[in-house]
Chain A
Amino acid sequence: MTGATQRGTALRLHRGLSRIWASDPRLRGWLTTSNNNDVGILFLIVATTFFVIGGILAMLIRAQLATPQSAFMEPQVYNQIFTMHGTVMMFLFAIPFFEAMSMLMLPGMLGTRDLAFPRLGAYGLWVYIFGGSAVIIAMLMGLAPDGGWFMYPPLSSAAFSPGIGADVWLLGITSIEVSAIATAIEVIVTVLRYRAAGMSLSRMPIFAWYILIVSVMILTAFPPMILGSLMLEVERAFDWPFFQVENGGDPLLWQHLFWLFGHPEVYIIFLPAAGMIATILPVMARTTLLGYGWVVAAAVSLAVLSFGLWVHHMFTTGIPHMGLAFFSAASTLVAVPTAVMIFSWIGTLWKGRPRMDLPMLWIMGFFATFVIGGLTGVMLAVVPFNWQVHDTHFVVAHLHYVLIGGYVFPMVAAIYYFMPLLTGRTRFFKLGEVAFWLVVPAFHVTFLAVHVAGLLGQRRRTSTYDPGQGWEVLNLVASVASFVMAIGFALIILDVAVNAFVAVRGRRNPWGAATLEWAAANPSPAYGFASIPIVSGRYPLHDDPDLAVRIARGEGYLGDASRNRRETLIVTTAQGEPSLVVVLPGNSVVPFLLAVVTSTSFLAPLFGAYLLSGLALIGVVILALIWAWGLGSRTDEGLVDAGHGAMLPLASETPDPPGWWGSLFLLLADSVHFGSLLFGYAFLWTVAPNWPPQSYLQPDFWGVSLAVGGAAALVAGPRLAVGAIRRGRAAWPGIPLGLVGACAIAAAAATIPLARAEPAGHAYDATLWLLAGHVGLHAGLTAIMLIYFAARVARGYASPARIGEARIAGLWADFTAATGLVALGAAWLPGAFA
């Protein structure tokens, strides 16, 4: 082939794929797009907007604290401002921002065309936008939460926070957590299955490891928080006394559930930034990462350890000292994997020939800041010292060192590093360097002063202070420097915005990176790669400098637009061998509509509109079914030519399609949620005053029989159906059996509220209602799935090859049966032994 015909091939392929992957035109396109580039960039812009809002709130706080006895804000206003600053930065900026970055970068890094569930990503985006906006609008109306971002009851209970502020927090934040879980599932399945051919786990770019670990952490850390929010919300709305001591509750239960989420949350925020550093720093040092395996192991152990030290936020709550000793040791131990990462990176610099471009400058800012934050963190893990500085400005300073130094600075580095890829332009204006020298020194002045103020006894969350305690100069210095820092951040945003629109076109891969995202055209087209790359090492662009051209010419897998649909490759999890061809869904407005009704169902209770909320929930079910119905096929297509002589089955014609994997991980989150409920039950039983309750629920013969029989039918029914379809026989006997099982176990659960009619009487009864609710909800979901599945079978959507949907329903049925038996057993056992 001559050069001209080769270019012609690449151009034809580009045109074909661009047509297939194009978003709808104009405004409609933004509502219907599910492409990772579009969704990611919207995510990024919205998260940055929330960062600006959070930053303005921070400036209000520093303006208030600049002078003693400030009359700028009343305590009632100040309390809303600092609560919202924490909430906005943690929930509306930090998590969505790294989700946005991974949506944008991950498919490129992995060598695939899009994320595993593009529509789920779009749905997560809209839920986030609606939930976040609701929280901000409430603040502008003066209805913001004012109990601090960790919302401790009883202060946040109805008796002490009567307005809707706390409800705004609980419902708004929970909806955003739902969005984060959706994104996490999408990321996990993408990393595990959607990669370039030949990209085994050990050849994955380091960021993919980090984001995989973080996503699993989201699935295990958010559910306790969602449960806590649910408990607090039903306590506020219906007076179920989970946190009221006089009726068998305990406010410490909230603290455990909150920090079970809240501490891993810190690492959920830090690890993606660490992943960015591990990606960028070796490229800037013109070498490879030192100790790749070490860094992966360190990230995994950090994730595991982070779940074992939530109590270090509760050292002053009166937990016995030996208990504290365990958590103190765990809290210091977490510094070890962090040290492994830090020294891996410094060792990488020693190994290579580092150059000081702007991203590298920000990474140096990270080192100078984060190391201090880590050291003060170790100090806080030392119990006696914690007793003194807990809830002072020392802690405020520490957490800003960790979060700004450990998250914001690396993310600024990442923005500048990936800007050529996102915008196709190289930086022309050089405001970035100026901004760096404003932000980083000003940051240190601000928060070093705040440390000292804390040591001198200044409490956090006080609206002002009296003169004469040595705090005035420190606070004034901190405030002035913080304004300089804010100007610096404004310059960064300006710099990025201006360069995104007017800078000069840049060449491909300006940094000389070795990972696949730099092999795509610049900026990345909607389809990502013209063909799925074939890699044989960890650094594909260094192994084969011509790889980008070959990909563009369609010399990888699926370099063919003739089937006229959005295809990408699924590989085996460990080895990365081509395994399946998956057809991704096209543009649709359904995710947007589903987000509208989901957010309505979450936000309507704020105004007491429970009926509207219920109607919206029905809308959620209907739209979800419409969403699912539009997928799948009524005929078997058989093997598909994926190129390179590989004839691969379609993902929809395997027993474990992506949806099955997604369900598996959603159920992991669900299991943690259920486990947290059992933990809460056991905690109240053993720790709360005013236990045990006056009387127990007595198991009755019919309830137990229904539960056991129902669980058996739930397990057997879908299995029979799957087996029958596999052998080409009718699925009919199995589906009704499963339905009967779902109804039976729901009926068994219904005996609980019938027997204990007063959930507001004692926390025991309230917990029983939650257990029964868990069973009822899952029985209902399983029943809907089985009915839906029956309709799918009737319409010809199932065949011996297209068995995946049946297995998804079976997965949920198994989960319902297993957790149902445990939940009902937990409810009945105390009564049986009493």
Chain B
Amino acid sequence: MAATLQVTSGCEERLSILHPAGPAAQTIAQVWWIMLVGAVVIFVFVMALLVAAWTRPATLNPGDDGRRARVWMWGLGLGFPMVTLAALTGYGLFMGERLLPRDGPDLVTVSAEARQWAWAFRYADAPGRVTEGELHIPADRPVNVRITSVDVIHSFWVPRLAGKLDAVPGHVNVLRIEAARAGTYDGQSAEFSGAGYRGHVFTLIAHDAAGWAAFLRDGAP
């Protein structure tokens, strides 16, 4: 019974960006929650100003247009968004820099080739090995995915691990992913690609160190 529940709840969040399972998705989920709080505060503030316009005593906000402009235009119109947005943009860029595929000591490189409507994965550590619809990576190690397409534009996305990056014919885009724990994760293309788009999905299997070694040695278990 407990096992069934666990499986069901596991199902519920297979593609959710709010249930991160790796550092990149974790970072982005944190960005989201911070922005959500900020957005709610700003929304409530603006709505309060709006409601106050109808309910405030007439003595509030007296004076001429010049004085009002100082408060409403300079203060709220210019100053308030400038400060908030500068902080947010800086924060976003700082976080984005941390997600870039930089070199590291235990970096693993795989490649993902999309076509209508399937995925082929190749491995730098096991030349010649190709897996279809199933991407194997080691858990707890940074992985660079070199993404391309042979026909139309697709997009490589494992929501619980990281953001998405497009598979564009003629271009190779590199996405950094990492799974904190061994396990199975759902991936899906996220760029509309015609009639078979819904079924353009794949599975990502993150192995522990032993499992990864076995995969490189023997192929998919």
Contacts and interface: CB of A to CB of B under 8 A. Distances in A.
Given A328-B89, A328-B93, A468-B12, A316 B164 contact: yes
Contact of A378 (B18, B52, B85, B93): B85
| Most A-side CB within 10 Å, residue of B25, B77, B96 | B77
B211 interface: no
B92 interface: yes
A344 B73 CA distance: 7
A339 interface: yes
Interface residues of A, number: 84
A442 interface: no
Nearest to A391: B190
Interface in A430-468: 455-465, 468
B101 to A, nearest CB: 10
Contact of B31 (A343, A385, A456, A463): A385
B69 A350 contact: no
B42 interface: yes
Given A316-B164, A375-B42, A391 B35 contact: no
A154 B153 contact: yes
Contacts of A385: 28, 31-32, 35, 92
Given A375-B43, A383-B92, A688 B15 contact: no
A251 B43 contact: no
A148 B68 CA distance: 46
A324 B173 CA distance: 14
Contacts of A389: 17
Contacts of A654: none
Contacts of B60: 350
Given A329-B89, A375-B42, A457-B16, A391 B76 contact: no
A45 to B, nearest CB: 33
Given A154-B169, A387-B162, A469-B11, A336 B85 contact: yes
Nearest to A318: B173
Given A148-B192, A294-B73, A372-B43, A346 B14 contact: no
A346 B49 contact: yes
A468 B8 contact: yes
B126 interface: no
A75 to B, nearest CB: 5
A347 B190 CA distance: 43
A333 B85 contact: yes
A246 to B, nearest CB: 8
B151 interface: yes
A570 interface: no
Nearest to B19: A456
Interface string B77-121: 110111001001101110111011000000000000000100000
Contact of A689 (B72, B116, B171): B171
A367 interface: yes
A160 interface: yes
Interface residues of B, number: 77
Contact of B153 (A76, A155, A161, A390): A155
- Secondary structure class of chain A's binding surface, majority of residues: helix
Contact of A383 (B17, B96, B193): B96
B203 interface: no
A371 interface: yes
A469 B12 contact: yes
Contacts of A161: 194
Nearest to A387: B163
Contacts of A354: 53-54
Contacts of B116: 160
Nearest to A463: B198
Contacts of B193: 155
Contacts of B188: 457, 459
Given A324-B96, A354-B53, A368 B18 contact: no
A175 interface: no
Interface in B27-86: 27-28, 31-32, 35, 39, 42-43, 46-47, 49-50, 52-54, 56, 60-61, 65, 68-69, 71-73, 76-78, 80-82, 85
Contacts of A464: 198
Interface in A72-88: 75-76, 79
B46 A371 contact: yes
| Most B-side CB within 10 Å, residue of A146, A316, A368 | A316
A333 to B, nearest CB: 7
Nearest to B95: A384
B191 A391 contact: yes
B50 A470 contact: no
- Secondary structure class of chain B's binding surface, majority of residues: helix
| Most B-side CB within 10 Å, residue of A245, A328, A350, A455 | A350
A351 interface: yes
Contacts of B15: 456-458, 469
A651 B131 CA distance: 75
Nearest to A457: B15
B159 interface: yes
A376 to B, nearest CB: 7
A332 B13 contact: no
B166 interface: yes
B77 A343 contact: yes
Nearest to B192: A461
Contacts of A266: none
B52 to A, nearest CB: 8
Contacts of A386: 163
A42 to B, nearest CB: 35
A147 B195 CA distance: 10
B155 interface: yes
Interface string A322-366: 001100110011011001111110110111001010000000100
A339 B50 contact: no
| Most A-side CB within 10 Å, residue of B56, B88, B99 | B88
Interface string B162-187: 11111011110100000000000000
Nearest to B86: A332
Contacts of A325: 93, 96
A371 B116 CA distance: 39
B92 A382 contact: yes
B152 A384 contact: no
Contacts of B78: 336, 339-340
B197 interface: yes
Interface string A275-294: 00000000000000011001
A561 to B, nearest CB: 42
B221 interface: no
Contacts of A384: 27-28, 31, 92, 95-96, 99, 163
A379 interface: yes
B196 interface: yes
Contacts of B99: 384, 387
B99 to A, nearest CB: 6
A147 B73 CA distance: 44
Contacts of A690: 170
Contacts of A154: 151-153, 169
Given A336-B78, A382-B91, 13 more contacts: A154-B152, A155-B152, A245-B169, A252-B171, A290-B68, A291-B69, A294-B69, A317-B166, A318-B165, A340-B73, A343-B73, A384-B27, A384-B99
Q: Which 6 A-B pairs have the closest CB atoms?
A: A387-B163, A457-B15, A245-B170, A347-B72, A318-B173, A382-B92
12 contacts: A160-B194, A252-B171, A321-B96, A335-B85, A343-B72, A346-B72, A382-B31, A382-B88, A387-B165, A388-B28, A391-B191, A469-B15
Interface of A: 75-76, 79, 146-148, 152-155, 160-161, 245-246, 250-252, 290-291, 294, 298, 316-318, 321, 324-325, 328-329, 332-333, 335-336, 339-344, 346-347, 349-351, 354, 356, 364, 367-368, 371-372, 375-376, 378-379, 381-392, 455-465, 468-470, 688-690
Interface of B: 8, 11-18, 25, 27-28, 31-32, 35, 39, 42-43, 46-47, 49-50, 52-54, 56, 60-61, 65, 68-69, 71-73, 76-78, 80-82, 85, 88-89, 91-93, 95-97, 99-100, 116, 151-153, 155, 159, 162-166, 168-171, 173, 188, 190-198
